Amino acid sequence: MRASYKKYVLDFKRPSGTSRGIMSQKETWFISLIDDERFGIGECGLLRGLSVDDRPDYENKLKWVCDNIALGPKVLLSNLNEFPSIQFGVEQAFLSLDARSPFLLFPSEFTNEEKPIDINGLIWMGNEQFMLSQIEHKLADGFSCIKLKIGAIDFEKELKLLSSIRSRFNKDEIEIRVDANGAFKIEEALDKLKVLATFDIHSIEQPIKPNNWRAMAQLCKQTPLPIALDEELIGIYDQTKKKQLLQTVQPQYIILKPSLIGGFSRAEEWISLAEQMKIKWWATSALESNIGLNAIAQWTFEKNNPMPQGLGTGGLFTNNFDCPLQVGQGQLFYRKGLSWPIQKIKELCI
Q: Where are the domains of the chain?
A: 2-102+343-349, 109-340
Distance of CA 185 to the CA centre of its chain: 24
pLDDT at 305: 97
pLDDT, average across residues 53-72: 97
Catalytic residue among 26, 147, 192, 257: 257
pLDDT for residue 147 is more than 70: yes
pLDDT for residue 165 is more than 70: yes
pLDDT at 89: 98
pLDDT at 8: 97
pLDDT for residue 286 is more than 70: yes
Domain 109-340 has what CATH class?
alpha beta
For residue 321, the 8-state DSSP code is P
What is the tens place of the pLDDT at every residue in 100-135? Answer: 999 999 999 999 999 999 999 998 877 778 888 888
Torsion 141-178-201-204 (CA) sign: positive
pLDDT at 23: 82
CA–CA distance, 64 with 31 (Å, rounded to integer) = 12
What is the tens place of the pLDDT at every residue in 303-342? Answer: 999 999 999 888 899 999 999 999 999 999 999 999 999 9
What mean pLDDT, rounded, does the chain reach?
94
pLDDT, average across residues 85-112: 98
Strand order in the sheet with 145-149: 121-123, 145-149, 175-179, 203-205, 227-229, 253-256, 280-283
pLDDT at 19: 57
pLDDT, average across residues 258-268: 97
Q: How many CA atoms does the CB half-sphere of 198 hold within 13 Å?
A: 9
Domain 2-102+343-349 has what CATH class?
alpha beta
pLDDT at 280: 98
Which residues, 6 or more positions from 48, have their beta carbon under 8 angstroms from its beta carbon? 27, 54
What is the tens place of the pLDDT at every residue in 12-25? Answer: 988 776 656 678 89
pLDDT at 20: 62
Which residues, 6 or more positions from 74, have their beta carbon under 8 angstroms from its beta carbon? none
Q: Grade residue 95 by pLDDT with cuts at 50, 70 and 90.
A: very high
What stretch of H or E contains 254? strand 253-256
Phi, psi of 92 (to 5 degrees): -65, -40
CA–CA distance, 35 with 130 (Å, rounded to integer) = 48
Whether 257 sits among the annotated catalytic residues: the reply is: yes
CA–CA distance, 154 with 88 (Å, rounded to integer) = 36
pLDDT at 14: 83
pLDDT at 277: 97
CA–CA distance, 57 with 62 (Å, rounded to integer) = 9
Catalytic residue among 61, 147, 149, 192: 149
CA–CA distance, 234 with 211 (Å, rounded to integer) = 10
pLDDT, average across residues 83-90: 98
pLDDT at 55: 96
CA–CA distance, 281 with 305 (Å, rounded to integer) = 8
pLDDT, average across residues 156-180: 91
